[in-house]
Structure 1
Amino acid sequence: MPADSSRIPPPPAPSTDLRADARYNRERILRVAREVFATHGIDAPVSTIARHAGVGTSTLYRRFPTRDHLIAEVFAGQAAICTGSIDLALADPDPWRGFASVLDRVTAMQVADQGFSAAFLRSFPGTPGLKTRRSRAERGIALLIRRAKEAGVLRPDFDRTDLTLLFMAVDGIRDHGVEDAHAAARRLVAHLLRSFRAVPVSVPPLPPPAPVGLYHPQDSSRRP
């Protein structure tokens, strides 16, 4: 007697466990890498990230073929925020306010994430997404500078490399373990913005002083 087809169980559905595991591993690697880069910078060992993510190094490299691919994925969100901030600044009818707002936002991101500025300023061969965003940011910043100079509010001898010096200084605040790095960065940026102005103007008072000592917090031997 032929089998009752209504009683024959359907074939098992294709397993999605591997796909789910792969997706979970990828998300976990990115989350851990973001934490490690934020604390130790983008030169932290990939093996450390894999260990904290609970995966093997080979698994990490299957998801991200190179360190640069991993870094580009980790900082994709911050890069998008950075270029978005520049777009908002360019839309501001006040050239100085637009220029200053970008410095405030980008340096705040620097302080919050140690690896951000290094990742955004570094060249990443084979990662067109981050490279495209960086090129777009560079064009936007150049336009902000030109617009502010043409409006007579930014010193004519200001150079784009002065922004690099500013970002390096903010990185130094983080590297020295300042207790309130956000307060220190805000005050530093406020001082530098005053020096960048082309002509003396009425400016708001500086942010409150930051709790910064004269010496490196870990160098007790040099203190009086």
Structure 2
Amino acid sequence: MNMKPVLLIAAAALMLGVAGCDTSKYGQVEQGKVIAFDKDAQIVTVVHDTNIDPSNPKYDKMPPVVFKLPANPKEIGPLPKVGQRLQLNLEEKKLEIYDAQKQTLVYIDIPDADVQKDIGKEHALVKDQSFPKIDSEKGTITVYSGRLKALCTFGIPAGYENYPPETWTTGDEVRIYFKPESGQAGTRESPFQARRFMNITQTNIYKK
């Protein structure tokens, strides 16, 4: 896929939205993390990043927004990895997740968190490893944050003993260009139709 047109159009649409232009005419851009993806139906669910800042994202807008992927395969980047872990705050020892059962954002205290920092993706502790690692016998979960370069182990929170691994997995960051049409609500029953879908996490925009 040629990513240059996607990047240019997405950037232009974002600027138009910020400038207060008529987005019904020029379209809109959604950016956030993927918390659900139905591959058969080609429907993706995203929690919006209100900061749109790679160094300081903020996933706090509810409800999640639902999109139907573009009909043209050439307008679709790599399909997304799903996860409900939205943010890991090492300083405050808090974890933000999207609780799929409660259908809401939940902020969990992890005071017992054991954190190892400066762990790059090529570090022996994480290279060729898959996360999260759930140890039922010890009652712990280990997650890795590439953005923070941190490996974090914490006790399984009370009430979350039987939650699936996706709860502690971070989903891909994506950018979606769309033009809302009459009758579309951005819900599972009435998803927005995406015109272009870019997987930021899995796309190297500098690759020639």
Normalised to the residue count of structure 1, the TM-score between the two structures is 0.22
| Max Rg structure | 1
Q: Which has the higher contact order (CA 8 A, sep 6+)?
A: 2
Larger strand fraction of residues: 2
Normalization by structure 2: what TM-score? Answer: 0.23
